[in-house]
Structure 1
Amino acid sequence: MTPPELVALRSPAAVRARCHQVLDYVRVGHSPHFTVDEAALDGVADYVAQVTRQAYPTLDIPYHSRWRHFDAGGVDRWAALEGRLEGADKAERARVMIDLAVVSVLLDAGAGDAWRYREEATGLTVTRSEGLAVASLRMFEVGGFSSDPKVPLRADAKALIGLDAATLAKQFQVSDDNPLVGVSGRVALINRLGNALAARPDLFGTEVPRPGGLYDALLPKAKIGRLPAPAILGALLDGLSSIWPSGLDVEGVALGDVGRHPAVRVADLSDQLVPFHKLSQWLTYSLLEPFEAAGLAVTELDELTALPEYRNGGLLVDLEVIVPRQPIDPAQKHPVSSELVVEWRALTVALMDLLAGRVRERLGLDASQFPLAKLLQGGTWSAGRRIAAERRPPAGPPPIAIDADGTVF
């Protein structure tokens, strides 16, 4: 039986509350790592609003999700794939979308500056997150995640458990001249995903455990066709918390993407623990469209938090909202579990909450029209990438480098 204080960390409310505790700690000057200049948020809001208007002049902004990356180069790859699902009902289409999104998101960690993917069908060469998205979609398309050749458009436990590094490297065009960071870590994560699916038939299905089983598990939670976004995240954290190789373990309980920070003091097992669940929330954002495609309305979007990753966090450092007390060498890598990185990530989550209202004012939109899922897309992620390229050309690495295993960022 998992202690209730640890179960409570598996929620976006816990992420938000504890990240704001870290912000309060830094505000009063306790941090040896950073100070914060909240007045600089106005300049960040101007910059993000400008980037958003350039990308979406009509302010018809989609969600920040993996589905944006599948359209890299202006190619609607999902539409072509969906055309092969003739005869499938809405539920099965949703399951297929969930299968694709889950494996693609879990393969989406920093690719490194050298890796490229050349797409045979279009002749395009794509890099970074977009390249990983296209590569994973093409691998999905040829049945690379299915154990049944007759049902290629599926990701199932048996195939995921059996995936090896050589197969992934081949599908992702990895070679000595085209190195991809963390191939073995990515494969290990996918193998662990397969095991997690098989271990939870209540969430992922009994006959053929697959990520798409979440559709059937969550459908009863959709009262009058409305599914709360935190219910999606809760199911992911419940079913997949064991897959993160670098995830924190307390009293034998796998907590996933959780760090330690002295700002949080409580008299129970959750003392000093700050949850982030970055990939799980990125995955939740990426599952909004599959559930909506099945006719459900996903509600309570702003219960989720901003994503504590290096583009959002880098934006706040580069535009001097988060101010290092000492100069930080962008080439020196810091462990994900270090207090400096945990604090940077927590500040990112909390300050994005404060930034959201300012950007909404500039765009003339309210929270229902412009939830965090659209702020990130419009938005802060693109702005973070752009300012990084201006400050550290040409590749635009983040201002603080992370020594990660490919499963957090």
Structure 2
Amino acid sequence: MSSRLAGREAPLRPAPDEAVRRLLSAEAVRTRCHDIMAAAERDELTHFQWHPGKVADIAAYVAATTRQRFPNLTIPPHSRWRHFEVLGYHLAPAHPSDTAESRAEIARRAIDLVIPSVLLDAGAGPHWQYRDPRHGTLSRSEGLAAASLALFTGGELSADPDDPLRTDAERLSGCEEHTLARVFQAGADNPLVGLRERAALLRRLGSLLQDHPAIFGTPARLGHLFDYIAAHASDGCVRVPDILSLLLTILGPLWPNPLAQSGIALGDCGRHPASRDGYVPFHKLTQWLVYSLIEPLAVGGLRVTDEDHLTGLAEYRNGGLLLDMGALTVRDRRLLEYPQPAGSEPVIEWRALTVAALDTLRVAVGQRLAAGQRPPLTMAQLMEGGTWAAGRAVAARARGDGRPPLNILSDGTVF
């Protein structure tokens, strides 16, 4: 199929209202989450108490988990590609003989796959399972990775029958619940949380691609994001803050969140009185998407810098680790007994404390892993090494089914 990209003279970073721009950044995530942590350190929070004396124990456990998983401390970054690799699907490496166009097409296909997969990776719920013909029964993130991979490799996202491994706006816009149910093996006896909402999210994604022809081309293809980013790179270099800013501005309308400023959706953002302006952004899936785009962009020939601009991810494995190991305790035990809406103040508080605590843990775990002139531990390595696996392990010990300590009412699109 032919395609056309236009408007490459536009800046990579959009220019929304200044107040909105500040919230659509990882810097805002970090500063607002540390506002909540500062209140916790003053023991002023309504729902949680912070126990810094537990940090050393958690850091030791995370460091031991990391050494067990990666004995030589060659720790890959936390991204969707780690799940795909377990499934035997690897990002095709570039070869010295590859042309610039062939490298670019590898990157486009990787982006075509990884963006829908990340967006479909909000919690699956405790009962859903995916039966993979090669890898057996999978659940949660691994199961969602396998199902989204099947969606992509089966040509369900391509509008070109001669080129099934691509993601086109036309197919995204027509995604129906029954299609996802079939591919994800979901039904009454295998319920997937938020199935309807996930299908609606893919349809909204298709519409957004068509609304941005300068970025995604005509007809719109998701992988053309690579061409847009490459065209705005400086000497082959692109900064992570610019990628995140671009995606947060484009993808903001995807999320079913009524919070907006100046008509611009704030995406994965909540409210809390301890924040300096009342807002607490997290941008969890979008940040994880950027973590997962770094490798495809590099294979395409771009040099990606400023990765440490990103924060830790405000999700229930990282946050569950803090609760299960006692760094956080609830003031009212009923908070652990009753389901909590994802946008409720207790959940906002928990997620904010998680992001701030990960900054502290990164330093503490890095000190325990330090060996010679080893480069400092990155946030992506901390989570992969790391806090995510440790959080899953302690959840399994505390609750046989491994569910998080807080029961979150999820719609399958954000958390």
Residues 1:110 and 2:116 aligned together? no
Give the Cα–Cα distance (whole angstroms) in 2 for the partners of residues 101 and 367 of structure 1: 30
Whether the 8 Å CA contact 1:99–1:211 is kept in 2: the answer is: yes
Structure 1, unaligned runs of 5 or more: 266-270
Residues 1:154 and 2:161 aligned together? no
Give the Cα–Cα distance (whole angstroms) in 1 for the partners of residues 348 and 374 of structure 2: 28
Q: Which residue of 1 aligns with 2:378?
A: 371
Matches within 5 A, 1:78-93: 78=90, 89-93=102-106
Q: Let me know the Cα RMSD of the aligned residues.
A: 2.1
Residues 1:129 and 2:141 aligned together? yes
Query: 311, 317, 327: which one pairs with 1:321?
Result: 327
Give the Cα–Cα distance (whole angstroms) in 2 for the partners of residues 369 and 324 of structure 1: 33
Which letter does structure 2 place at the counterpart of 1:110? Answer: G
Give the Cα–Cα distance (whole angstroms) in 2 for the partners of residues 161 and 289 of structure 1: 27
Which letter does structure 2 place at the counterpart of 1:402? Answer: I
Whether the 8 Å CA contact 1:32–1:325 is kept in 2: the answer is: yes
Query: 264, 271, 274: which one pairs with 2:275?
Result: 264
Q: Which residue of 2 aligns with 1:386?
A: 393
Give the Cα–Cα distance (whole angstroms) in 2 for the partners of residues 123 and 385 of structure 1: 20
Whether the 8 Å CA contact 2:17–2:262 is kept in 1: the answer is: no
Give the Cα–Cα distance (whole angstroms) in 2 for the partners of residues 367 and 348 of structure 1: 26
Q: Secondary structure at the match of 1:126?
A: strand
Which letter does structure 2 place at the counterpart of 1:250? Answer: Q
Q: Which residue of 1 aligns with 2:312?
A: 306
Give the Cα–Cα distance (whole angstroms) in 2 for the partners of residues 250 and 191 of structure 1: 24
Deviation at 1:216, TM superposition (A): 1.3
Give the Cα–Cα distance (whole angstroms) in 1 for the partners of residues 18 and 61 of structure 2: 42
Give the Cα–Cα distance (whole angstroms) in 2 for the partners of residues 160 and 255 of structure 1: 23
Query: 167, 192, 198: which one pairs with 2:210?
Result: 198
Which letter does structure 1 place at the counterpart of 2:201? Answer: L
Whether the 8 Å CA contact 2:181–2:195 is kept in 1: the answer is: yes
Query: 187, 200, 213: which one pairs with 2:199?
Result: 187
Give the Cα–Cα distance (whole angstroms) in 2 for the partners of residues 370 and 63 of structure 1: 10
Structure 1 residues 80 and 10 mapped into 2: Cα distance closer, same or farther (>3 Å)? closer
Deviation at 1:226, TM superposition (A): 2.5
Residues 1:168 and 2:156 aligned together? no
Q: Which residue of 2 aligns with 1:241?
A: 252
The number of aligned residues is 397
Which letter does structure 2 place at the counterpart of 1:213? Answer: H
Give the Cα–Cα distance (whole angstroms) in 1 for the partners of residues 36 and 270 of structure 2: 12
Deviation at 1:28, TM superposition (A): 1.1
Normalization by structure 1: what TM-score?
Answer: 0.92
293-302 or 102-111, which moves further after superposition?
293-302
Deviation at 1:253, TM superposition (A): 2.2
Residues 1:343 and 2:349 aligned together? yes
Whether the 8 Å CA contact 1:49–1:363 is kept in 2: the answer is: yes
Structure 2, unaligned runs of 5 or more: 1-14
Query: 59, 64, 70: which one pairs with 1:45?
Result: 59
25-34 or 301-310, which moves further after superposition?
25-34
Which letter does structure 1 place at the counterpart of 2:159? Answer: S
Q: Which residue of 1 aligns with 2:225?
A: 214
Give the Cα–Cα distance (whole angstroms) in 1 for the partners of residues 240 and 263 of structure 2: 28
Q: Secondary structure at the match of 1:78?
A: coil
Structure 1 residues 322 and 221 mapped into 2: Cα distance closer, same or farther (>3 Å)? farther
Whether the 8 Å CA contact 1:315–1:387 is kept in 2: the answer is: yes
Give the Cα–Cα distance (whole angstroms) in 2 for the partners of residues 227 and 115 of structure 1: 39
Query: 129, 132, 135: which one pairs with 1:119?
Result: 132
Q: Which residue of 1 aligns with 2:50?
A: 36
Structure 1 residues 230 and 151 mapped into 2: Cα distance closer, same or farther (>3 Å)? same
Q: Deviations over 1:269-288 (max 9, x none)?
A: xx301111000001111111
Give the Cα–Cα distance (whole angstroms) in 2 for the partners of residues 163 and 276 of structure 1: 27
Residues 1:254 and 2:260 aligned together? no
Query: 55, 74, 93: which one pairs with 1:60?
Result: 74
Normalization by structure 2: what TM-score?
Answer: 0.91
Deviation at 1:367, TM superposition (A): 8.7
Residues 1:8 and 2:22 aligned together? yes
Whether the 8 Å CA contact 2:104–2:301 is kept in 1: the answer is: no
Q: Deviations over 1:280-309 (max 9, x none)?
A: 001111111101111222211111000000
Deviation at 1:80, TM superposition (A): 8.6
Q: Which residue of 2 aligns with 1:268?
A: none
106-115 or 236-245, which moves further after superposition?
106-115
Q: Deviations over 1:60-80 (max 9, x none)?
A: 1111111111123xx422369
